[in-house]
Amino acid sequence: MKTIIRKLTFYVGQVIRFIYYSYLRMNGIKIGDNTFISLGAKIDTQFGEIIIGDNVHITSGCVLLAHDGAIKQMKPDANPRGKIVIGDNVFIGVNAVVLMNVSIGENSVIGAGSIVNKDIPANVLAIGNPVKILRDLS
């Protein structure tokens, strides 16, 4: 009985994830192959453009925010929409926030709780608020 329940739970989870990814794709988010996005992650589907590469792991509590409503309040002519590009083989730790107009290079790791407010090159470990490159991973 436990085996049946485990298998059923796994398949239900797969169906829910498929529906979630389909929703994101319908809203313009580009998601690469073999990418895992936790159901607890928050991805901005209202504005901007988000591109997620292959083999990316976005953990629970992460936020990808491709717009900034505050800019419009301060500068009415400003464009509050941005772009986020996440390269292949990237890991984004729990509760990290990726802000608009940022790209994360391939094979990089973003530490838990980091605020990514600038571009991150490939093959690095980056952590902190604001994010800083801790070391090279190549």
φ, ψ (nearest 5 deg) of residue 62: -70, 150
DSSP string, 13-58: HHHHHHHHHHHHHHTT-EE-TT-EE-TT-EE--SSSEEEE-TT-EE
pLDDT for 21 equals 74
- pLDDT values of the chain reduced to their tens digit, one per residue, 138 residues: 778 777 767 767 677 777 777 777 777 789 999 999 998 899 887 767 899 999 999 999 999 998 876 666 666 676 677 899 999 999 999 999 999 999 999 999 999 999 999 999 999 999 999 999 999 998
Number of domains in the chain: 1
pLDDT of residue 19: 77
* Residue 116's CATH number: 2.160.10.10
Q: Which residue segment(s) compose the domain that 19 sits in?
A: 2-136
pLDDT at 22: 77
Q: What is the pLDDT of residue 44?
A: 83
Per-residue confidence (pLDDT) for residue 48, from 0 to 100: 74
According to the model, what pLDDT value does residue 85 have?
A: 97
Cut 0.75: pTM above it: yes
